[in-house]
Amino acid sequence: MHILIIGAAGMIGRKLTSALLKSGQVGGKAISKFTLTDVVEPAKIDFNGDVATVVSDVSLPGEATKLIAARPDLIFHLAAIVSGEAEADFDKGYRINMDGMRFLLEAIRQEGVKAPYLPRLVFTSSIAVFGAPFPEAIGDEFFNTPLTSYGTQKAICELLLNDYSRKGFVDGVGIRLPTITIRPGKPNAAASGFFSNILREPLVGQEAVLPVSKDVRHWFASPRAAIGFLTHAAELDTSKLGWRRTLSVPGLSTTVGEEIEALRRVAGDKAVNLIKDVPDQKIISMVAGWPRNFDAKRAIGLGFKAEQSFDEIIRIHIEDELGGKIGG
């Protein structure tokens, strides 16, 4: 099996690559080749089969065609710019988040004209495709009314994935990722970054800024759960999806205050005292239109799983990123 990971240099891309290397197979088929691509060169990996690391931007005409020419069996499309950046730079957001998907799908379709070709494409969408007003929990039948450019771009990609799958050009699965927390590394341009920052920094003895009130509620899953979503989607019997190819996956509905109390239980008052309230009206306004809770019955019925408590999410970060130790 030949696997192509677009966005392989990012946090999710790196963790996904590691998980696939450890498993060595997908759906009972041995992995024989990796193609890892991003706008910066992905890290080299230790793999007995073929490996290609490619610097490429699929939002540029012709780039997706080059990647698809090798006819990968399984494609993970993770590449995107994040919510805050997409909102700040309208042109860049549509070029990368929408055009990249369109070019990729079209490259797959054109490759299939030459000879039969039907790869599995796993696409990372977002809960940003939904906009207020919300029900108590967003169900599988709730409509998409995004309130940001990022959400709109992801919603368009979901429709494209549906249509290209319906026409038999690709075997697509879309995953609406919850906000992934705790993200390792340095803060990024995502408006949701503070959800991770207020946990990640205090866990290593550093101060963090909280720009919203503690009663803000949101939908979360860990990086470990996100990799589980992607690998499960790669093996899924897509005949069970029908014409609705994108799923809202499980997660945890938690307030910022509950996040902080979970941090207190795991790491104590010393860590919590490093969080400083610094209201940011721009972020407060954006957060007001974000989803807060989901009833992910469809995905759960298909075998997708996430954490059961926020304490578990924090402990996963400590185990996976901090070597099991807390403190600076």
Catalytic residues: 150
Residues 6+ apart with CB under 8 A from 33: 1, 2, 3, 49, 50, 51, 52, 72
231, 214 Cβ separation under 8 angstroms: no
Dihedral sign, Cα of residue 312, residue 313, residue 315, residue 319: positive
178, 180, 182: which is closest to 266 by C-alpha?
Answer: 182
Q: Give whole-number Cα distances, 52 to 30, 32, 46, 70, 72, in Å.
A: 17, 12, 12, 11, 12
158, 209 Cβ separation under 8 angstroms: no
DSSP 158-184: HHHHHHHHHTTS-EEEEEEE-EE-SPP
101, 285, 251, 119: which is closest to 176 by C-alpha?
Answer: 251
Helix, strand or coil, per DSSP, at residue 241: coil
232, 304 Cβ separation under 8 angstroms: yes
Q: Cα 37 to chain center, whole Å?
A: 16
